[in-house]
Chain A
Amino acid sequence: MYVATFASLSRCSVLAFRPPAGLLVSLRYAQTAAAAAVQPRIKKFQVYRWDPDTPGDKPRMQTYEIDLNLCGPMVLDALIKIKNEMDSTLTFRRSCREGICGSCAMNINGGNTLACLDKIDSNLSKPTKIYPLPHMYVVKDLVPDMSNFYAQYKSIEPYLKKRDDSKEGKEQYLQSVEDRQKLDGLYECILCACCSTSCPSYWWNADKYLGPAVLMQAYRWMIDSRDEFTEERLSKLQDPFSLYRCHTIMNCTRTCPKVCCGSCPGLNPGKAIAEIKKMMATYKEKKAAAV
């Protein structure tokens, strides 16, 4: 018969022994502390607040305190906890809680991410600062007016365009494996607007500059082998503002929250825009203008 003991850091152990009869018996005993009291870990959250229904209200920061032992790990968990238990007037967008819908995009500790994917920093000496997406009109608290962003997306015609529509819906439009691979890193965009609202150029020129999110989707349709309007899509960007306000500041790629695990570093709108600029230099301008 032999005995093995495993002790873990959580102060409970497993004692396993095998008696001659061949049965493996294991006992588990846990060390119980006298008054099993876990110290509360209080974290401060400073949140941007503004109420349109209070006349003359000015934007302000409101501090909430949360015990991290009683809260989920993500910033969105904290916001929901605040809304449920402390202040039901706190207003923010949210839906999937798993980084696929893009609703909870906001500025956390100075960077734009999705609140549902951003782990709360367990350092209790520093507060977590939460702001809405930068340089956007505020509807209420953390909710920005996204309609300009959506209108810009609509303007690039984000759908498949064929010269001859007669075959539409009859058969699949075939695409080689290599051509489909070109769409990797582009189609995954959830239009959360973290990148566009991190771009200083977009801050100063949101009316005329399309921004990284919309431009990356324009590129997604330009290089889709099934789409036949590449040159027209390129010629639409032929003005000083729509594309060319990009000065390669690279805040966009740095802030993209679509990080699935350790190996994927998020999407790269900066690179997509650079590829558009290269295509703009070589496409046949006259042919597109003649259409």
Chain B
Amino acid sequence: ELFLWMNKFWAKNSSLNRPMSPHITIYKWSIPMMMSITHRGTGIGLSGAISAFAMAALILPGNYTHYLDLIHSLSVGPFLIGLAKFGIAFPVSYHTYNGIRHLYWDIGKGFKIPEVYRTGYTVIGLSVITSIALTLM
């Protein structure tokens, strides 16, 4: 009966043409908020990239060395190669370290706001350092 009541709430409010108060356009952004959406974004990106790579490996003719030679022959400068490497390394590093932060939350630790910031900055720092290291390898 509570369920029926709630349905009436939605019907009433939309029939009265009441506006919805602004949210994403007015809410103040914060580091934890940005880190959360970045975790989601890198997750979607990594998932999509792995699926795309798997599909490509399945469908495209020719083997791995053929495509490696193709990329070499494009004579892309070292800076752009580095950028591409960083572009892959950063999502992997960030999502992994923030994933560990999520596991830490799952056991119930680190929920005080100063701790959220401290672990957050640690994840950002480790991700940047790891990504740069992987790029330079």
B108 touches A271 (CB 8 A): yes
Q: What mask results when residues 103 to 120 of chain B are scored 1 for a CB within 8 Å of chain A, else 0?
A: 001111001110010000
Neighbouring B residues of A52 by C-beta, 8 Å: 16, 18
Q: A109-B28, A148-B6, A249-B36 are in contact. Are A274 and B20 (CB under 8 A)?
A: no
**Is A99 part of the contact surface with B, judged by Cβ < 8 Å?**
no
Per-residue 0/1 for A121-151: is the Cβ within 8 Å of any B Cβ (1 yes, 0 no)? 0000000010111111111000011011001
Q: Which residue of A134, A144, A145, A265 contacts B26 across the interface (Cβ within 8 Å)?
A: A134
How many residues of A are counted as interface, with CB atoms below 8 angstroms from the partner's CB atoms?
45
A275–B105 Cα distance when bound, in Å, is 10
B22 sits at the interface (CB 8 A): yes
Q: Inside 8 A of B73's CB, which chain A residues have their CB? A: none
**Would you call A107 and B27 a contact (CB within 8 A)?**
yes
CB B55 to nearest CB in A, in angstroms, measures: 28
Report Cα–Cα, A6/B83, bound state, in Å: 66
How many chain-B residues does the 8 Å CB contact rule pick out? Answer: 31
Of B6, B24, B108, which is in contact with the most chain A CB atoms at under 10 Å from its CB?
Answer: B6
* A274 near B6: Cβ-Cβ < 8 Å: no
Contact B23 A134 (CB under 8 A): yes
Q: Write the nearest CB–CB distance from B44 to chain A, whole angstroms.
A: 13
Answer whether residue B13 sits at the interface, using C-beta atoms and an 8 A cutoff. yes
Residues 190-231 of chain A: 1 if any B CB is under 8 Å from the residue's CB, otherwise 0?
A: 000000001010010001000000000000000000000000
What's the least CB distance linking B30 to chain A, in Å? 7
Does B64 sit within 8 A of A, measured CB to CB?
A: no
Contact A137–B20 (Cβ < 8 Å): yes
Give residues of chain B (10-68) contacting chain A, Cβ–Cβ below 8 Å. Answer: 10, 13, 16, 18-24, 26-28, 30, 32-33, 36, 40
B9 touches A129 (CB 8 A): no
Question: Are B19's CB and A59's CB within 8 A?
Answer: yes
Partner of A254, one of B6, B13, B23, B113: B113
Contact mask for chain A residues 243-257; partner B; CB cutoff 8 A; 1 contact, 0 none: 000011111011000
Complex Cα–Cα for A268 and B33 (A):
16
Of A148, A203, A250, A270, which contacts B9 at CB under 8 A?
Answer: A148
The 8 closest A-B pairs by CB, nearest first: A110-B28, A134-B23, A271-B111, A135-B23, A137-B13, A132-B21, A137-B18, A249-B36
What would be 8 A-B contacts, judged by CB atoms less than 8 Å apart?
A48-B22, A148-B10, A207-B10, A249-B33, A250-B32, A253-B113, A253-B116, A254-B30
9 new A-B contacts at CB < 8 Å, known A111-B27, A148-B9, A265-B113: A134-B22, A138-B18, A139-B18, A151-B9, A203-B23, A248-B102, A250-B36, A278-B106, A278-B107
B contact set with A: CB distance below 8 Å = 2, 5-6, 9-10, 13, 16, 18-24, 26-28, 30, 32-33, 36, 40, 102, 105-108, 111-113, 116
A residues contacting B by CB (< 8 A) are 48, 50, 52, 58-59, 107, 109-111, 129, 131-139, 144-145, 147-148, 151, 154-155, 198, 200, 203, 207, 247-251, 253-254, 265, 268, 270-271, 274-275, 277-278
